[in-house]
Amino acid sequence: MKFYSTRNKEKLFSLKEALMLGMAPDGGLFMPEQIPHINIEHLLKGNATIHECAYAVLSPFLLEDFDAQQISEMISAAFNFEVPIISLEKNLFLCELFHGPTLAFKDFGARMMAQLMSAFLKNDNGEITILVATSGDTGSAVASGFFNVPNIKVVILYPAGKVSTLQELQLTTYGGNITALKVEGTFDDCQALVKQAFADDELRNRVRISSANSINIGRLLPQMIYYAYTSIKMKKDTGSDCIMCVPSGNFGNLTAALMVKQMGFPIKHFYAATNANDTVPDYFKTKNYTPKKSQPTISNAMDVGNPSNFERMLCLYDNNFEKISTDISAIAISDDSTIDTMKDIFNEKKYLADPHTAVAIAATRILNQAKNNLAPVVVMATAHPAKFADTIEQHLPLKVEIPDKLESLRTKLSMSTDIDIQYQQLVKYI
């Protein structure tokens, strides 16, 4: 499988090139030259595991570079945790994606990407620096996935004061090959610095750099796995194609989901749920994409005013508004509605949802009613509530139980470096 830039479909790149470059030389994002159609009958007939779904989804993209055994071994090493699907209420389910080592869905992409990069670097004895901008969970997943991986250095940029206390500890307590930079700015400022580095030919001639957030195709491909697995499981359990509601910030998660639908998995429709950063919902209202300055919210990992992956989404649909609006309904949810939903779900169902999952639950309830939808909806529960204990405890009269793997971070030394949004400060650490 070869890959092209969203800005030039003529020039093709290998998987290794796309993975190691992160962004295309022309500033575009890499996309597979085709979305393969998968025969899913064998997955529907058996009791398909997430490893079997992962192999079915990933093998068309990887078999030119790795044999079946290598792919299976990487999948087993990356995905060694559960993906439970629970029933919250009639026709509303939660897929809990937070049972990995950093308690967030981004463990899927980061861990598989680390396996792929490590395999390629082992073969050519190369070294690389990973640059990643994070609004919260990406950085911690990347730090965990790449910690002490030979020949890889990681530089993480995160906005000062705009990630939760435990998220920041997950970013800053590794040391070793992990460098955390606290940026006096927003996530969009962090992302702009990373993009500037990738556009800097002089820098790239001196240092081999790549990305590890969802602008890298190596993060995106593994995120397809849980959509494939969930759609198969829901089809078997309910007999219906499901709707999936995706909490959305930089829109890599939804892009991966759209690719799974195009591969032939049984997904009826998508709800894209954002917080007050409503650039994409506005697009579906106006047919115009107008980036905005990001606004801080209690669902901070989604505070993105100019989502990078929207370029990929438009590419998937050939910039055809009618096509993309057939598959996606988008809605923005306020902080007040998010808080009310967290309270309602806890009081009614005794389920504690983190703010991002609450955004998606609120969106599902509103869109279900507006569309008179009776199909099952699966909300992608993207993070463990303990990662946002400070926020939850401000609004709910309870004490959030902190898992040991998070609580132990409080005893570790936090190591970060403050920088402003001057590009040359970033270059020093690269």
pLDDT digits (tens, 9 = 90+) for 72-90: 999 999 999 999 999 999 9
198 and 204 Cβ atoms separated by less than 8 Å: yes
Q: DSSP secondary structure string, 39-96?
A: --HHHHHTT--HHHHHHHHHHHHHTTTS-HHHHHHHHHHH--S---EEEEETTEEEEE
> If you average pLDDT over residues 54-81, what whole number do you get?
96
Domains and CATH numbers, the chain: 83-102+218-402 (3.40.50.1100)
Q: What is the pTM of this model?
A: 0.90
Specify the DSSP class assigned to residue 98: -
CA count, 13 A, side-chain hemisphere, 102 = 30
Structure tokens at 247: 């909490």
pLDDT at 362 over 90: yes
Q: Is 358 helix (H, G, I), strand (E, B) or coil?
A: helix
Q: 367: Cβ–Cβ under 8 A, 6 or more apart, which residues?
A: 245, 271, 329, 331, 373
Measured distance CA(129)–CA(152) in Å, rounded:
6
Judge residue 92's burial from the number of C-beta atoms within 10 Å of its C-beta, 0-12 exposed, 13-18 middle, 19 or more buried.
Answer: middle
Give the pLDDT score at 165. Answer: 84
- Mean pLDDT across the chain, nearest whole number? 94
pLDDT tens digits along 18-37: 999 888 989 899 999 999 99
Give the pLDDT score at 305. Answer: 93
Give the pLDDT score at 211. Answer: 83
Q: Nearest-CA neighbor of 97 among 282, 224, 287, 270? A: 224
pLDDT at 46 over 90: no
